[in-house]
Copies of this chain bind each other. A is one copy, B any other.
Amino acid sequence: MTPIKLLILPGDGIGPEVMLEVRKVIDWFASNRGLAFEIDEDLVGGASYDVHGTPLTDAVMDKAQSVDAVLLGAVGGPKYDVLDFSVKPERGLLRLRKEMDLYANLRPAQCFDALAEFSSLKRDVVAGLDIMIIRELTSGIYFGEPRGIVTEGNERVGINTQRYTEAEIARVARSAFELARKRGNKVCSMEKANVMESGVLWRQVVQEVHDTEYADVELSHMYADAGAMQLVRWPKQFDVIVTDNLFGDLLSDAAAMLTGSLGMLPSASLGAPMENGRPKALYEPVHGSAPDIAGQGKANPIACVLSFAMALRYSFDLGDEADLLEASVNDVLAKGLRTPDLGAGEGTRTVGTAEMGDAIVEAL
Contact = CB atoms under 8 A, between A and B. Distances in A.
Interface of A: 76, 85, 88, 90, 94, 120-122, 125, 141-142, 144, 147-149, 152, 155-167, 192, 194-202, 205, 224-226, 228-234, 246-247, 249-254, 256-258, 262, 288
A247 B247 CA distance: 9
Nearest to A146: B161
Q: Residue among A120, A149, A164 with the most chain B CB within 10 A?
A: A120
B200 A228 contact: no
17 contacts: A88-B194, A94-B195, A120-B233, A142-B196, A148-B197, A149-B201, A152-B165, A156-B165, A158-B162, A158-B163, A158-B198, A159-B162, A160-B198, A225-B253, A228-B228, A228-B253, A232-B257
A246 B246 CA distance: 10
Contacts of A167: 155
A109 B166 CA distance: 38
A168 B198 CA distance: 24
A44 B179 CA distance: 42
A97 B232 CA distance: 28
Main secondary structure of the interface of A (DSSP, over half): helix
Contacts of A194: 76, 88, 90
Contact of A120 (B125, B246, B257): B125
A153 to B, nearest CB: 9
Given A194-B76, A249-B192, A156 B162 contact: no
Given A122-B122, A195-B90, A257-B229, A162 B161 contact: yes
Contacts of A90: 194-195
A181 B164 CA distance: 42
Contacts of A231: 254
Contact of A149 (B200, B225, B234, B247): B200
A84 to B, nearest CB: 10
A159 B148 contact: no
